Structure 1
Amino acid sequence: MLGQVLGGRTGSSPSGSRYFRYEVAGLSQSGETESMDYPIRSSGNAFITVPYNRMNQEMQRITRMGGKIVNIEPLN
């Protein structure tokens, strides 16, 4: 399972400590994805762990890279 935690501000609010895992299909290695800290597999789905306060930004980034979010699940 491929996972990555993206940094963000964690405040004293409950939302600062909540994380979600995106299951993403359709990502492939490209010029933009090569600059990431983790590789993108050419087949199968990728799993990306995101803090609550960065969910919207990560959705936009995945869409720009041509991926499709197929599942979002909260992590406890």
Structure 2
Amino acid sequence: MYGQTTVSTPNTSASRMYRIEVEGMRQSSESDKQSYAIRKSGSVFFTVPYSRMNEQMRRINRMGGKIVNIQPLNTEPAPQPENSEN
């Protein structure tokens, strides 16, 4: 409706970031479009928002990479368990 606004919280899926570790990337016509060279050896890291993860994973597969690890990048500290010492 006209005049309505959407309020989002910082913990929505759009604000979640992930780091993807990739091995075995090869230089190809797809990677030639980028402004940096990709080496066959070693790991390459991509940081992407949750909303673009699927797209990035497809791109990695097309370029011959193998996804080794995916880690969430949390800006908030993990909740600490309460001590039940009495």
> Per the shorter chain, which TM-score range?
0.7 to 0.9
Q: Which runs of 5+ in 2 are unaligned?
A: 1-6, 75-86
Cα distance in structure 1, aligned partners of 2:29 and 2:35: 13
Rate the CA distance shift 1:19–1:37 in 2: closer, same or farther, 3 A: farther
RMSD between superposed Cα atoms in Å: 1.8
Q: TM-score, normalised by structure 1?
A: 0.75
Deviation of the 1:53 alpha carbon: 0.6
Q: Does 1:12 align with 2:8?
A: yes
What secondary structure sits across from 1:59 in the alignment?
Answer: helix
Of structures 1 and 2, the larger Rg is shown by 2
% identical aligned pairs: 59
Question: After alignment, is 57-66 or 30-39 more displaced?
Answer: 30-39
> Which residue does 2:51 correspond to in 1?
53
Q: Does 1:22 align with 2:20?
A: yes
Cα distance in structure 1, aligned partners of 2:15 and 2:36: 23
CA contact (8 A) 2:27 2:63 kept: no
Q: Which runs of 5+ in 1 are unaligned?
A: 1-10
Question: After alignment, is 34-43 or 53-62 more displaced?
Answer: 34-43
Q: TM-score, normalised by structure 2?
A: 0.67
Whichever residue aligns with residue 8 of structure 2, its letter is S
Cα distance in structure 2, aligned partners of 1:28 and 1:34: 10
Deviation of the 1:34 alpha carbon: 1.4
* Count of matched residue pairs: 66
